[in-house]
Amino acid sequence: MFNTFKQVEDHYNSIKVMVSKNHPREQDLRPIGPRRFKWERIEKLDDDTYAFWPGHTDGDDVFPQTGDRSFTKAEKIALAPVLWQRKGRREFVKVRNSTYGYATGYYKFLKAYLPTALPFGIKNGAHYVTCGGVDFYAKHPKDASKVRVEGMQNSWRKIHGVFQVEGMGDGALVFERKGDKFVPTAETKRRTVRVAKRVDMKLKAEFQTHINELRDWVFAIAPLIPSEGKEATEFRNEHHKRVVAHIARRHSGQKFASWSCPVTVYPLIDRRDAVKDPDHPMRMVIAYELKQELFLNPNDRRYDRATRQWYQFEPDRKTTMDRFNRYINRALELTESKEIPHDEK
């Protein structure tokens, strides 16, 4: 944990460079912590800029996400999870959240190497950096390096809404050191918000009749859908192929894996059409996923110590309907995260 630029600079100079057949001296590989975690490293971009990398993130050319990659200095400045900069006599710390959720290693890295006065935390499922008793929302950024954007354009598992990085990066929080304290920059001050998920009720109303029909149909057909084993796998893969064939006729250039994938990977317009059209090939894929979600949920299993066996029990109607609504909201993208000022309910 470092609280001043001088501490960062001294720590960098004190680290012996790791050299091996995999890491030539030119890489200047300097682990920021224990040397057995060599991917967690500190990089000197220039005399006034140091970047901290947790490993396997966009912008890291020593331990990249995939393949051999090179990044410009501007991209590294924008994409670094933690960046210390000195501008004359002023010192700044930039914090950037991960571009995806469930990045537990990334979050631990931020908690370990952010200054004491800038703790990283999670509240109600949202990430924050606290400064002076105020929580600043650290959103998942949607910008990326040029090579990653190009890679995603050719990938079947597309990440939508991603754009090439420019400037300080999307959603970065920047704080200036003032003695033992830090203060947010003007742009960061505007991020004094909390995040809440809200269902767009007006949009959902357009689908409600079709959603009700889909629910009744799924409840009726669920007992006929294979639940596990080879039969279930073949069922899922067969209907996935039909969906892919349907999408290929409608969207030229769309690529998907030959094996099954979650419904949310398919184009949104097709997911919404599947809810409206009883003959759409994606309906059976949705029915399969809903059966797993509603009736074969791992939370509905109990262990009997007497018999040393697991038992599946049927959830009550309220639980089932809550799960159905969550699935539909997610599949049709009817839910959005809204930044709400703290003084609003």
Q: What would the pLDDT profile of 215-244 be if each residue is shown by its tens digit?
A: 999 999 988 998 888 898 899 889 988 988
- Percent share of the chain, pLDDT over 90: 48
What does the pLDDT look like over 320-330, one tens digit per residue? 899 999 999 99
What does the pLDDT look like over 278-289, one tens digit per residue? 999 999 999 999
Token reading at 99: 């571009």
Q: Please indicate whether residue 311 or residue 286 has the higher confidence score (pLDDT).
A: 286
Q: Please indicate whether residue 334 or residue 261 has the higher confidence score (pLDDT).
A: 334
Q: Among 154-158, 207-211, 259-263, 337-341, where is mean pLDDT lowest?
A: 154-158
Quick one: CA dihedral 200, 206, 207, 208, positive or negative? positive
Cβ atoms 174, 185 nearer than 8 A: yes
When pLDDT is cut at 50, 70 and 90, the band that residue 160 belongs to is low
Q: What does pTM read for this prediction? A: 0.61
Is a pLDDT exceeding 90 seen at residue 23?
A: yes
Q: Angle at Cα 208 formed by Cα 245 and Cα 294, nearest 5°?
A: 70
Token reading at 242: 């039909």
When pLDDT is cut at 50, 70 and 90, the band that residue 153 belongs to is low
* Ordered DSSP codes for 64-77: -SSS-----HHHHH
